[in-house]
Amino acid sequence: MRRRIGLMVASALTTCALFAAVILTVALVVVPKVTGGMSLTVLTGSMRPGINPGDVVVTRGVDTQQAASLNIGDVITFLPYPDDPTLVTHRIIAKSVGAAGVSFITQGDNNNVADSWGPVHDFQVRGNVLYVVPKVGWARQWVGQAGPWLVPGVGVLLIGVGIVSVVTSRRRPDEPDLDPDEEDPDDGGDAPPRRADWGAT
């Protein structure tokens, strides 16, 4: 019985782990790829309390034409300086449309003043934030530092545990689990002797 309970627990934990891995893969890899966006780890607290360090923001891709549909209150990911690859994720607090196109004034939710780099032009915008996955960024950074072997290794381990659980759960019905405190009636233990029936002489 104890062995069967252990197998059930192991199978349940494996299923949960695989399910969580699939959900995270869809949220952090599949959705950004389908929408032309990115998944980025937040490193600063400029967007607290809604977005915190260690969170992952998932964006949909935005080109120059699509930038015109962005409005005040949207959270966007952009290049503050066209010659610097550093990306920033802040909220639009003002929008301007002119002959040169659309531009935005941005500010972090946790900042008291607008961003110092001035207007962000439509060609600097890289994405519009779809959702935030809390605290996954730290784990993803650790995985990246641990090397490319870690993810395949964990995947193989989970698959192996799942296979073992399935195989061991398909035991023959004629092999019952015996509690160690129970005696097998055929093991010659301390079973009471049979009473002999003596015939009259």
CATH number at 105 reads 2.10.109.10
Which residue is listed with tokens 């950004």?
Answer: 32
Do 155 and 87 reside in the same domain of the chain? no
Q: For each successive 10 residues of the chain (201 residues), what is the average pLDDT?
A: 73 81 89 96 96 97 94 97 93 94 97 96 96 90 62 68 67 52 52 50 41
Q: Is residue 116 part of a domain?
A: yes
Q: Is residue 185 part of a domain?
A: no
Do 17 and 54 reside in the same domain of the chain? no
Q: What are phi and psi of 77, to 5 degrees?
A: -110, 130
The total number of structural domains that make up the chain: 2
Instruction: Tell me the β-bridge partners of 164.
Output: none
Do 81 and 147 reside in the same domain of the chain? no
Q: Is residue 5 part of a domain?
A: yes
Do 16 and 55 reside in the same domain of the chain? no
Measure the CA–CA gap between 98 and 103, rounded to whole angstroms. 8
Q: Is residue 122 part of a domain?
A: yes
pLDDT score, position 186: 53
Q: Is residue 117 part of a domain?
A: yes
Do 90 and 156 reside in the same domain of the chain? no
Yes or no: say if 47 and 110 are a contact pair by the CB < 8 Å rule: yes
Q: Is residue 58 part of a domain?
A: yes
Last residue of a domain, one of 80, 114, 134: 134
* Domain ranges, residue 27: 1-35+135-175
Do 130 and 142 reside in the same domain of the chain? no
Q: Whole-model pTM?
A: 0.70
Do 105 and 146 reside in the same domain of the chain? no
Do 47 and 110 reside in the same domain of the chain? yes
Do 28 and 68 reside in the same domain of the chain? no
Nearest CA to 40 out of 19, 17, 60 is that of: 60
pLDDT score, position 199: 47
Q: Is residue 154 part of a domain?
A: yes
Do 53 and 99 reside in the same domain of the chain? yes
Length of the chain: 201
Do 126 and 54 reside in the same domain of the chain? yes
Q: Give strand ranges (E) for 51-181.
A: 56-61, 75-78, 88-98, 101-107, 120-121, 125-133
Last residue of a domain, one of 101, 134, 167: 134
Do 43 and 108 reside in the same domain of the chain? yes
